[in-house]
Amino acid sequence: MTISNPDNSSETLGGTSAEPQGEASASGDQEKKTIGLRSKIRAARAFIKELPVGSTLILGTLIFFAIFAPLLAPHDPIRPVEGIYSYTPAAWKDGGTWSQWLGTDFLGRDVWSRIIYGARVSVIVGLTGTAAAGAIGMVMGVVAGYFGGWVDALIMRVVDAWLAIPTLVLAILLSMTLGASMWNIVLILGVVYWTRYARILRGEVLTLRERDFVKLAQVAGASRTRIITRHIVPNVFNTWMVLASLTVGVVIVAEASLSFLGVGVPAPKPAWGSMLNDARAQLLTGRWWLMAAPAVAIGLTVLGANLFGDWLRVKLDPQQRNL
């Protein structure tokens, strides 16, 4: 006769009952993760479908040229094409060839190759210059709005003084002081354009700091740094994104203006602004395409950036989205 041990049976029952519960909990967590991942994928697909076709096509082409410039450019943008003299006509002109369909410049360099490589300069300066301006403006605007008092007054007086100086004049002065280089231009444009972020973000922070969730965080003993990083900055990030998207085109035009004046991206690096400067004398000789090519590239890029910024503003603003 076999005698069962009650203790062993209870342990067995407890073990068998605990094991399915653990498996059920693990499967539930895995299911939640799967559902969350699927919802994120659906949201990403919906976001992509809503992208504006025109601006997405323009900006996508620009970024594609910037990334794959060495593969897309038929010739070296810095050195003259071998066996080609200066000012070769465009392909539709007598004596032109489709291997240099936009002709060559005064040094015999292929214009189309320089346009492609110029996209790389515009993308780098546009994005990094905008990020630099946005970072400075975010810090200044949030600090001024949250702390208020003399800190707010001091920062806003600096902003007022900065805005009193024409941006292009200020950029030229800084470029002549620091020297012309691509990364100096990025720094200069960040210093020049941070004020637009600071003023707008300060106004939003002034409203946010009076909201209940900020007051509750203060009562709970949260530090100022935690309140700013966890409650203030996330709530102004959408506004920051819209400002950044609308600033990219402005920064690209500013870089082209500085390069056109000879204080921007230095030669021989291809930049659309310097190409405009090199070709301006050729309008009188009938070689209009030398100036038209970089001008059209700048115009399309700024148009695409502005259209995308307008779309993003409507997308992130609930009031605009519900109209």
CATH of the domain at 210: 1.10.3720.10
pLDDT band at 82 (very low <50, low <70, confident <90, very high): confident
17 inside domain: no
Average pLDDT on 218-235 reads 90
Exposure string of 134-157, with b = 16+ CB inside 10 Å and e = fewer, is bebbbbbbbbbbbeeeeebeebbe
Locus of tokens 């060495």: 70
Q: For residue 12, give both structure tokens.
A: 């067995």
% of the chain exceeding 70 in pLDDT: 83
Please provide residue 210's backbone torsions phi and psi, each rounded to the nearest 5 degrees. Answer: -95, 0
Strand partners, 110: 104
158: Cα separation from own chain's centroid: 25
The domain containing residue 225 runs over which residues?
Answer: 53-321
Average pLDDT on 232-249 reads 91
Q: Can you tell me the distance from the alpha carbon of 253 to that of 263, in angstroms, rounded to the nearest whole number? A: 14
Query: In the prediction, which pLDDT does 200 show?
Result: 93
Going through 28-170 in order, the beta strands assigned E by DSSP cover: none
23 inside domain: no
Average pLDDT, rounded, for the chain: 84
Q: Can you tell me the distance from the alpha carbon of 281 to that of 287, in angstroms, rounded to the nearest whole number? A: 9
182 inside domain: yes
Q: Is 116 exposed, middle or buried (0-12, 13-18, 19+ CB in 10 A)?
A: buried
pLDDT at 8 over 60: no
Is residue 138 within 8 A of residue 155, CB to CB? The reply is no
Q: Can you tell me the distance from the alpha carbon of 265 to that of 281, in angstroms, rounded to the nearest whole number? A: 20
% of the chain exceeding 90 in pLDDT: 47
104 inside domain: yes
Q: Is 267 exposed, middle or buried (0-12, 13-18, 19+ CB in 10 A)?
A: middle
Is residue 195 within 8 A of residue 163, CB to CB? The reply is yes
163 inside domain: yes
30 inside domain: no
pLDDT band at 9 (very low <50, low <70, confident <90, very high): very low
Number of residues written out for the chain: 323
pLDDT at 323 over 60: no
pTM of the entire predicted model: 0.81
Higher-confidence position of 160 and 32: 160
8 inside domain: no
- Provide the number of structural domains found in the chain: 1
Query: In the prediction, which pLDDT does 114 show?
Result: 94
pLDDT band at 49 (very low <50, low <70, confident <90, very high): low
Average pLDDT on 51-60 reads 85
Q: Which of 182, 202, 206 is CA-nearest to residue 138?
A: 202
Locus of tokens 């994104």: 241
